[in-house]
Structure 1
């Protein structure tokens, strides 16, 4: 090594290797779906129709389930002998069953519908926001 050379002058330059940036925005090769929806193109209409169909399907399933359980109350009264004559604090049990027992069913159906509808909308937004 000559006196005017500094150590490491001929050695290759150090390169720092890191993982790819996870926060970096990916370049979108195509047309963003959100733009398709905003411009109401055919592709955007397909996405919106699929959301509407999934929400309608959910509403029908919850409504039919609610009605089936609601119809089970009169069937229960018809099949269980003596339940018509039973009273609780002077009120016929059948009235309590139909009058008070329906409200938890309504609450459960509403909670199920809102929870699943929110999940459908979140999936739709994830789909639209992915570019």
Structure 2
């Protein structure tokens, strides 16, 4: 650069408003302020509610098998008693499916939580 040339001016801009909000909300969650604590409690409450609802589905399904066994204890299907067939064929896929559903919905809840934490005011 010669003496007559001046360096080109550069414009310096502060962080965007959205970025400032993201950092502040994350700090509130990390430092466990009242706002951060309320957000985390909301997430835990949502996951507890999900677990209780899906647990109720499993309890009612197993109770249905017990009621069916009481109503028709000697009912045979394919040479087996129906209650054993239901326990062997229905119970495990039901438990697996409810478990997979819980994981998928819990992960969605966590993604929603992150979206709330990262959102603009």
Task: Judge same fold: TM > 0.5, yes or no.
Answer: yes
Structure 1 residue 128 corresponds to structure 2 residue 120: no
Structure 1 residue 75 corresponds to structure 2 residue 67: yes
CA RMSD of the aligned region, Å? Answer: 2.1
1:70-95 Cα deviation digits (max 9, x unpaired):
1111212333x4x624153x543321
For residues 81 and 52 of structure 2, the distance between their equivalents in structure 1, rounded to whole angstroms, comes to 33
Q: Which residue of 2 is the match for residue 84 of structure 1?
A: 74
Q: Which residue of 2 is the match for residue 32 of structure 1?
A: 24
Q: Which residue of 2 is the match for residue 44 of structure 1?
A: 36
Report the 3-state secondary structure (helix = DSSP H, G, I; strand = E; otherwise coil) of the residue aligned with 1:104. Answer: helix
For residues 98 and 84 of structure 1, the distance between their equivalents in structure 2, rounded to whole angstroms, comes to 15
Contact persistence 2:46–2:109 (CA under 8 A): yes
For residues 77 and 119 of structure 2, the distance between their equivalents in structure 1, rounded to whole angstroms, comes to 59
1:57 to 29, 49, 55: 49
Q: Which residue of 1 is the match for residue 4 of structure 2?
A: none
User: Aligned runs of 1:110-121 on 2, under 5 Å?
Assistant: 110-121=99-110
1:98 to 87, 90, 110: 87
Contact persistence 2:29–2:37 (CA under 8 A): yes
What displacement does 1:97 show?
Answer: 1.3
